[in-house]
């Protein structure tokens, strides 16, 4: 519930603005009050009248409105909220935020606020993938702006891909997480998850069977304790949780880069099944059979060890660094050796022999390796394992 929480909702000019009306309604159903601000472009998509009616409040639209300024100046407006939400956050609004523009009411409020800002991006897939938008996104992340979405799917413009505004309930989960009072409030945790795909050529890749289920459950459990979660995920088969900052990557090298960009963090949890090697001689165009009957020889190069890199980073190292070990033999001995080799604080080890049904399944049976030795946990559903682990992480950070 969001009882008595005050949300300043900035509505940008995109087709997804229609979803903001539903967002207002649902926020109010949960007990929040919503003060809407509309950009000029937003008014092309939804009317100030319907926005105002649903919010049961005046809509703020103009930086130079003398009546508004007399009643509540824009500085005060930007601060009289618990959270500033931008939905939809268009490419233009994100660019303005990243570069500090203040040339209309929305951008001025975003510059003047002393509150946390959560954005729900929405735009055409090409605009989302454009290097300029991705640069702006990275800057906003660095500034501590919370990001909800975007989702992947069919878009109003007829294209398919990432760029669709998150579903309203997912934005509300993100708002809930941002305003939550859990024990991990104010802590930042990086979680890696899923497999990586290492290309052989533009249509083929090397992957593994990780579904991303355990990393996803862990990110959700940490979010539920109030943590801010940067969720760096490879192409997983389960959808990422709502209310966390999702950074999608494909290769181990991209995962390493995304993790480096997500620092500083209080804890970093490496649940991803990262490919140990990449194809060094990957082809830029599709490899063809040449009729000779000989298969192409792939050459491999070792990928950077992301976990070891963070565990051994010296200054700026997260207080708690946790690795996972998927083993098929001598689980405790191998995992204990891995913990020492990689210099991480804990290893969450499990037996992934096919007969256990753990890889790709719904349950997990882990051994937690810490300074105090090996602790065997019972076989539990993956989300239960996640809750136990999240609570142990909170305790280790002094937030339990």
Residues that bind ligand CTP (CB under 6 A): 192, 252, 270, 272, 274, 276, 303, 305-307, 323-326, 338
Nearer to ligand CTP (CB atom), residue 84 or residue 307 = 307
Nearer to ligand CTP (CB atom), residue 107 or residue 193 = 193
Nearer to ligand CTP (CB atom), residue 105 or residue 306 = 306
Buried b / exposed e along 333-350 (16+ C-beta atoms within 10 A): ebbbebbeebebbbbbbb
Active centre residues (catalytic): 157
Write the Ramachandran bin of 292: left for phi over 0, alpha for psi from -120 to 50, otherwise beta: alpha
Nearer to ligand CTP (CB atom), residue 10 or residue 326 = 326
Shortest distance (Å) from residue 276 CB to ligand CTP: 5
Bridge partner residues of 121 (DSSP):
89
For the record, the structure tokens of 68 come out as 């508004």
Shortest distance (Å) from residue 11 CB to ligand CTP: 40
What is the DSSP track for 114-128?
-SEEEEEE---HHHH
Give the separation between CA 296 and CA 291, rounded to whole angstroms: 12
Shortest distance (Å) from residue 263 CB to ligand CTP: 14
- Could you tell me what percentage of the chain is helix, strand and coil, using 3-state DSSP and rounding each to the nearest 5? 35, 25, 40
- CA angle 233/236/239 to nearest 5° reads 90
Shortest distance (Å) from residue 327 CB to ligand CTP: 7
Q: Do 301 and 280 form a contact (C-beta atoms < 8 A)?
A: yes
């Amino acid at each position: 519930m969001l009882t008595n929480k005050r949300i300043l909702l900035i509505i940008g000019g995109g087709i997804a603005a229609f979803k903001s009306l539903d967002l207002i309604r649902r926020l109010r159903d949960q007990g929040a009050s919503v003060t809407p601000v509309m950009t000029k472009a937003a008014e092309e998509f939804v009317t100030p009248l319907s926005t105002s009616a649903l919010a049961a409040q005046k809509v703020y639209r103009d930086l130079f409105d003398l009546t508004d300024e007399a009643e509540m100046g824009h500085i005060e407006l930007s601060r009289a909220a618990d959270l500033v939400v931008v939905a939809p956050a268009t490419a233009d609004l994100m660019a303005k935020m990243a570069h500090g523009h203040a040339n209309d009411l929305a951008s001025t409020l975003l510059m003047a606020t002393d509150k946390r800002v959560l954005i729900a991006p929405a735009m055409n897939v090409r605009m989302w993938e454009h290097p300029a938008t991705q640069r702006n996104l990275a800057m906003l992340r660095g500034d501590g702006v919370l990001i909800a979405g975007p989702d992947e799917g069919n878009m109003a413009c007829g294209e398919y891909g990432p760029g669709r505004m998150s579903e309203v309930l997912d934005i509300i989960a993100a708002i809930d997480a941002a305003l939550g009072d859990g024990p991990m409030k104010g802590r930042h945790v990086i979680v890696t998850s899923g497999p990586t795909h290492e290309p052989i050529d533009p249509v083929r890749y090397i992957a593994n069977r990780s579904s991303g289920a355990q990393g996803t459950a862990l990110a959700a459990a940490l979010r539920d304790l109030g943590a801010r979660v940067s969720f760096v995920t490879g192409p997983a088969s389960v959808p990422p949780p709502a209310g966390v900052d999702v950074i999608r990557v494909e290769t181990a090298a991209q995962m390493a880069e995304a993790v480096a960009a997500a620092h500083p963090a209080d804890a970093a949890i490496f649940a991803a099944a990262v490919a140990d090697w990449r194809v060094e001689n990957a082809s830029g165009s599709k490899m063809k059979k040449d009729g000779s009957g000989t298969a192409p020889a792939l050459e491999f190069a070792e990928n950077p060890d992301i976990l070891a890199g963070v565990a051994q980073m010296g200054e700026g190292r997260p207080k708690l660094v946790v690795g996972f070990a998927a083993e098929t033999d001598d689980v405790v001995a191998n995992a204990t050796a891995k913990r020492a080799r990689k210099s991480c604080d804990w290893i969450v080890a499990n037996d992934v022999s096919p007969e256990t049904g753990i890889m790709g399944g719904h349950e997990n049976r882990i051994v937690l390796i810490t300074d105090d030795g090996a602790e065997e946990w019972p076989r539990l559903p993956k989300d239960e394992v996640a809750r136990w682990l999240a609570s142990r992480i909170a305790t280790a950070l002094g937030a339990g």
